Structure 1
Amino acid sequence: MSAATVLYIILSGIIALVIALFQYVYKSKRSRLNLIFTGLRFVTFFSIFLLLVNPKFEQITNSVEKPNLVIAADNSSSVLYLEQNQKEQELIRAIKNDEAINEKFNVNFYTFGNNLQPKDSLSFTDEQTNISKAISELSQIYKNSIAPMILITDGNQTYGNDYEFTSSSYKQPIFPVILGDTTTYVDLQIKQLNVNRYAYLKNRFPVEAIVTYNGNENITTDFTVSYGNTIVYSEKISFSRTNTSSIINFALPTNTAGVHTYKATISTINNEKNKVNNNKNFAVEVIDQKTNIAMVSSFLHPDLGALKQSIESNEQRSVTFLKPNEVKDKLDDFQLVILYQPNRSFNNLYEVLKAQNKNTFVITGSQTDWRFLNSINSNYEHEITNQTENYLPELNNNYSTFILDDLDFESFPPLKSTFGKVTFNTPVEILLYKKVGNVSTKDPLLLTFESNNRREALLLGENLWQWRSQSFLNTQSFNQFDNFLGKLIQYLSSNKRKSRLKVEYESFYNGSSSVIINAQYFNKNYEFDARETLTITLRNKATQNILEYPFVLKNNSYQLDLSSLSPAEYEFTVRAKNENISKSGIFKILEYNIEQQFLNANVKKLNQVAINSTGKSYFIDNYSNLSVGLLNDERFLAVQKNHKNIIPLIDWKYLLFLLVFCLATEWFLRKYNGLI
């Protein structure tokens, strides 16, 4: 409390006393009753003056904060397959019932498999394991507290970053509890199959198989690939104690279009424990055409390479670089022409494009000749300013031409574009708006339109390569950006009439991946309609069972997760409830459970995680040693914290009660004695 505040309190007391004496003592008879009134009036005025001064007091409270103990338990089906599920559940119960551990720590339970979940019940149904993701998310939750982790797992991760290295993000000790043992079993395994997703009709597609052997004897076995009941490839392979792996390369023919499913098999040997990993299914979609795209530019730019890599990530598409004077006689070979920053050297090319009514994708930037472009086309015109500006992208969620995914455009760097307004002479669909800083201009950055049965797209900015790089930084993969651009290329390379019901799905899905189907429904004005109810009817071609599910509305599309379906080939029909509109198709779910490919716990990697984090690893049967270690570890001590709160007097409710009491008592005494 400051000296000035103390002075104000003293003055308040003096003033309150003077007023009280003046009212009940000065020129009044001295009596016991007046002295009581003087005291009550003094307390009343002094309380009021104190509230006006409002001094502040420090309140210090002490609390003891126990450290957290994070229990991360593996909920994937590999634990069940390794027959460690009962032991893991018993360990969870033992931790819950350990009074010493619960007295020292705040115990928090999580399970992980596909995703991290804050719970302590285990079902062992997750078909994927991402240990790295679980550790990263827990590191964010407990980054500001003492929180050692007990990681209960077999250490077998099926996707995600290598947790041996990402575990360093958890800046606290990790104590892996290993589900399994170090016993080595004799095993043959098809470790990996590398095959292209697409192949072309009347061609041959390459297949690479990696087969591994774990054992000490010399053996010879058969590797076969079958299509239905027909063996299309076979080879004998020999292994020994020193020769433990073999890479097999071969090619298979494509005689008919469609999705073709194959089964690779390595013959089992005696005493082999895991026979599931001796088989692996794979599929190839055979197509009878390829989309050829011409990319025309008069100069070099990083965007050209980024566009080529992004477009050709789908093997159904091929990009050819050409100069403006090289395209004229080759246009018949291409379904789409990308014009990068056109200038007057494109004059003859534009005339040929108009004559052949070719679809185009025009990308402009700082080196675009807008005077030429304004004169050569009649669909749009750009204001000539000779100035440039950097524009950020803003997604138009009402874009209805095809289904869009938000790539977190807000995190993308700006594109460099010519400053000025663009006017359009034809209806356009805006896919991305321009933003300057945080201000949305509602001017188009990326748009599509159709004119004279020709589809066109216009991107008003260069440095698209930075978007692809940022997408990789955001997701650790180029896939999202490549899929986004792929949808635009697919739309531009086709002249099919726009449908009111669009359905997006894959021809086949691997057994452990998500089976997601997206759909969009448009009204008669081709505006996205969120009021419609879409349903899908599925028929299992093997069992003839029929299933029906509703779609769920998500942003500007309908979505359905069918990951729970069993492996089979399915025919489906998507219908709009209120309109006689439907779309049909076929997809396959391949039989493959990656969680059943493991024989042992990954002891080596879990030991390394413990070493890197200054923890210690334990086998599942040694919980007592882990408990003792945690209780005796001086790094995990309770912390006493002092909390200092500054409390103003006006918040002290008892002063108000005192003020009311004094006023009420004075009034009652005066009334009782006939002074009122």
Structure 2
Amino acid sequence: MSSETLLYIIFAGIIALLLALFQYFRKGKNMSKLNMFFSFLRFISVFCVLLLVINPSFEQIQLSVEKPNLVVAIDNSTSIEHLKQNTQTLNFIEGIRNNVALNEKFNVDFYTFGDQLKVLDSVSFSEKQTNIHNAFKQLSQVYKQSMSPTILISDGNQTYGNDYQFVNSFYKHPIYPVILGDTAQYTDLKIQQLNVNRYAYLKNEFPVETIVVYNGYENVNSKFVVSSNDRVVYSKDLKFSKEDNSKVVHFTMPASKVGVSKYKAEITPLSNEKNTINNTKNFAVEVVNQKTNIAIVSDFSHPDIGALKKSIESNEQRFVSILKPNEVVGQINDFQLFILYQPSNRFKLVFDKFKALNKNYFTIIGVKTNLNFVNNSFENYRHEISNQKEDYQAELNTKYNPFIIEDIGFESFPPLHSNYGSLHFDHPIDVILNKTVHGVLTNEPLLLTFENSGRREALLLGENIWQWRAHSYLQNQSFHEFDDFVGKLVQYLASNEQKSRLRVDFQSFYDGNNHVVIKAEYFDKNYVFDARERLNIIITEKDSKSQITRPLILKNHHFEVNLSGLEPAKYNFTVKSKNGNISKSGSFEILEYNVEQQFLNANVSKLEQLADNSLGTPYFIANSSGIFNEILGDERYVSIQKSSRNTIPLIDWKYLLAIIALSLGVEWFLRKYNGLI
């Protein structure tokens, strides 16, 4: 409180006192006890009112004790139950709950994790995937400030995600792994990996590569068998020893029937094997009878050409040829799509042929493109010529209609080098990507498509798209997202099918552990995306004929439904619109595979390394009692006393109003009682 406010309070007290004395002792009134009491009550009332007018503020200091957090992260995956550690785990969790000293010293927070981190509700050991790295990444967002030692209850077997043993780079708390399982080595045969293409072509053969691994000390014999519909289609005898403990089996199989063919690869179990689930792997191949041939036409070499070829051929249904302009005319009917890379005057004969045959093509314009030739040859648009260059980044147009586009982080991609100048179009266009310069949207297209006279065309206004593919790999450790984007564009351009108002995006088969997601788009009669429509999917299991109906949820300018809860089987489905009376049908198959049941024991080495890197201590579940004593005795984990200083205005003090009301009420009552009113 300032000295000025204190003077106001003293002055208010004097005024209140003078007013009270003036009221009851003017004109020679006697100094009776009753008048003195009345004067006191009037002084209290007036003084409190003046205090409210002055409204002084008071500082209040509150002391609090903040306990450290103890984070308990529990592996809720099916591998825990598979290793028969579920009962011990539940007992250990109950031991933490019932430890009085631990709960007095710490704020104990329980979490479970599998695919995602969740606040503990129940422990069911039912998660089909394990991502320990992601669990710590999410915990690091919650526990940034206070010291939070962490008990990790897990077998250490991670099915996907980044290596978790180095999470100390962003998770700055000691980690105490409680290891579920043991280090015993069991005799085991397993199919470590099976590589096969997703697609094969009718009347061709597709390759299969299988890696079989043996853990043991004795010389053993086994048999590798591949079967389809209970019929053996391939087999091979294998011998293993302690030194020769892995075999790579290469073979090819015929693609004789269109559709999805399901196979089971199995290595015959040994008599003393503890885990036989990892002896089997299911896989499937979709046999197609159509192959798309695509030609990239260029009269000079550029990294973009190789990147496009790799990206397009990531889909086994597509084959890319790289041609010079003078090689195209004689082979023009052999290809469904042409990619014209930075055309020049040498492309004149090619363009004349395209116009005559109404061929689809994808044009890429860069700094080496002859814009005069483009303006004279292309009848649908003109590019302003400024002889200046610019670097443009991309921004996704979420209202693009012809097909579903996922945002794969276009805004973070490196800029494309291009010519400066605007485009002028004679026909309506569909913009996929817009140009931005230093984060400012230019309202100029960077990538677009359009249709004219039954022909589909696309135009990319920039070179160095190879950097986009490389950046996508750095961001996702995979080319899949970028290749899928290019594949959708190529699929759209290579087809002349009429637009459909309902489009459905799905895969022919799904691995049992992956998300089974079906996406759809619905357009009105003007082919504008209609978010008001309601879509439902009817799914029928082929064998039992049982049906389920689920709604598709609107999400980022498309509809989607997650069917991950379905059991492995073959399914037919129909997507129906509620108001438009339009439907699309298809079929898919969910393959049976549980990666969590492929483990024999705990990953002790990684959990020990995790503890060492984070300055914690590992414990086996069978000898975990010492973890409580260590954590309780660690001097790093102490409670902190905190003080908070709050400034409280007097007007917020409700008791002052009660005092004013009480003093006025008592004064009025006594005056009434004594006949003074």
Task: Give your verdict on TM over 0.5.
Answer: yes
1:60 aligned partner: 61
| 1:597 aligned partner | 598
Cα deviation, residue 282, structure 1: 1.3
Distance in 1, Cα, partners of 2:237 & 2:588: 34
CA deviation map 1:310-334 (0-9, x unaligned): 3232222233334444433333332
Cα–Cα, structure 1 residues 144 and 297, in superposed 2: closer, same or farther, change >3 Å? Answer: farther
Cα distance in 2, alignment partners of residues 566 and 675 from structure 1: 91
Indicate the residue corresponding to 1:306 in structure 2: 307
> Where does residue 430 of structure 2 map in the other structure?
429
CA drift of 1:672 comes to 11
Q: Is the 8 A contact 2:20 2:40 kept in 1?
A: no
Q: Contact between 2:42 and 2:667, CA under 8 Å: does it hold in 1?
A: no
Give the Cα separation in 1 of the matches to 2:283 and 2:49: 90
| 1:58 to partner: Cα distance | 4.1
Matches of 1:71 and 1:293 in 2, distance apart? 55
Are the counterparts in 1 of residues 42 and 663 from structure 2 also a CA contact under 8 Å? no
> What amino acid is the match of 2:90?
Q
Q: Which residue of 2 aligns with 1:645?
A: 646
> In 1, Cα distance between the equivalents of 2:498 and 2:118?
45
Distance 1:7 1:229 in 2: 96
* Cα distance in structure 2, aligned partners of 1:219 and 1:45: 98
Question: One-letter code of the match for 2:85?
Answer: Q
Tell me the equivalent position of 2:612. Answer: 611
**CA offset at residue 476 of structure 1?**
3.8
SS at structure 1 position matched to 2:624: helix
TM-score (structure 1 length as normaliser): 0.89
How many residues of Structure 1 are paired with residues of Structure 2 in the alignment? 670
1:143-172 CA-to-partner distances (Å, cap 9, x unmatched) read 222111111111111111122233543211
Q: What is the alpha-carbon distance in structure 2 between the residues aligned to residue 119 and residue 343 of structure 1?
A: 64
Separation in 2 of the partners of 1:662 and 1:307? Answer: 89
The answer as to whether partners of 2:41 and 2:664 remain within 8 angstroms in 1 is no
Cα–Cα, structure 1 residues 17 and 309, in superposed 2: closer, same or farther, change >3 Å?
farther
Please give the per-residue CA displacement for 1:121-143, whole angstroms capped at 9, x wherever unaligned.
11122111111111211122112
Distance change (3 Å), C-alpha of 1:617 and 1:48: closer
Name the CA distance, whole Å, in 2 between partners of 1:171 and 1:312.
44
Taking only aligned residues, the RMSD between alpha carbons, in angstroms, comes to 3.4
1:354 is matched with which residue?
Answer: 355
Aligned amino acid, residue 603 of structure 1: V
Q: Aligned pair 1:280/2:281, yes or no?
A: yes
Amino acid at match of 1:10: L
- Contact residue 21 and residue 38 of structure 1 kept, 8 A: no
Find the counterpart in structure 1 of residue 337 from structure 2. 336
Q: Distance in 1 between matches of 2:342 and 2:663?
A: 86
Cα distance in 2 for partners of 1:37, 1:216 equals 100
* CA distance in structure 2 between the partners assigned to 1:399 and 1:240 by the alignment: 59
3-state SS in 2 of match to 1:611:
helix
Equivalent residue number for residue 100 of structure 1: 101
- Structure 2 distance, partners of 1:137, 1:97, is 27
For residues 594 and 287 of structure 1, the distance between their equivalents in structure 2, rounded to whole angstroms, comes to 29
Q: CA deviation at 1:272?
A: 1.3
| Alpha-carbon contact 1:47-1:659 (below 8 Å) kept | no
Flag the 1:358–1:62 CA change in 2: closer, same or farther, 3 A.
same
Is the deviation greater in 33-42 or in 526-535?
33-42
Q: How does 1:97-496 map to 2 (within 5 A)?
A: 97-166=98-167, 168-435=169-436, 440-496=441-497
CA contact (8 A) 1:70 1:147 kept: yes
CA 39–592 in structure 1, closer or farther in 2 if over 3 Å, else same? closer
Q: Which moved more, 1:204-213 or 1:469-478?
A: 469-478
Q: Could you say if the C-alpha distance between residues 544 and 650 of structure 1 is closer, same or farther in structure 2, counting changes exceeding 3 Å?
A: closer
Q: 1:47 aligns with which of 23, 47, 51?
A: 51
Contact 1:92/1:120 (8 A) holds in 2: no
Cα separation, partners in 2 of 1:44 and 1:130, compared to 1, 3 Å: closer
Q: Which residue of 1 aligns with 2:7?
A: 10
**Is the Cα contact below 8 Å between 2:338 and 2:362 reproduced in 1?**
yes
Q: Distance in 2 between matches of 1:662 and 1:308?
A: 92
Deviation at 1:298, TM superposition (A): 4.5
| 8 Å contact from structure 1 (residues 188, 213) kept in 2 | yes
Distance 1:382 1:656 in 2: 78
TM-superposed deviation, 1:195: 1.3
Partner residue, 1:79: 80
Q: Secondary structure at the match of 2:249?
A: strand
| Distance of aligned partners of 1:564 and 1:659 in 2 relative to their CA distance in 1, 3 Å threshold | same
Q: Distance in 2 between matches of 1:44 and 1:572?
A: 77
Alignment of 1:549-564 (within 5 A): 549-564=550-565
1:622 maps to 623
Please tell me the residue identity of whatever aligns with 1:137. Q
Q: Distance in 1 between matches of 2:302 and 2:650?
A: 69
Deviations 1:400-438 (A, max 9, x none): 211222224444455454444433221222223344556
What one-letter code is carried by the residue in structure 2 that aligns with 1:201? L
Relative to structure 2, which stretch is displaced further, 664-673 or 585-594? 664-673
Residues 670 and 428 (structure 1 numbering): CA distance in 2 closer, same or farther, change over 3 Å? farther
Gaps of 5+ in 1: none
CA distance 1:549–1:19, change in 2 (3 Å): closer
Which residue identity does 1:481 align to in structure 2?
A: F
- Distance, in Å, in 2 between the alignment partners of 1:580 and 1:560 is 19
Q: Which moved more, 1:533-542 or 1:284-293?
A: 533-542
CA distance in 2, matches of 1:305, 1:646: 68
TM-score by length of 2: 0.89
Aligned residues of 2:513 and 2:595 also touching (Cα < 8 A): yes
User: 1:88 is paired with a residue of what secondary structure?
Assistant: helix
Deviation at 1:455, TM superposition (A): 0.6
In the TM superposition, what is the alpha-carbon distance from 1:387 to its structure 2 partner?
4.3
Q: Residues 474 and 29 of structure 1: is their aligned pair in 2 closer, same or farther, counting only changes over 3 Å?
A: farther
CA contact (8 A) 1:539 1:546 kept: yes
1:262 to partner: Cα distance: 1.6
1:220-272 Cα deviation digits (max 9, x unpaired): 11112122233222211111122221111122222333222221111121111
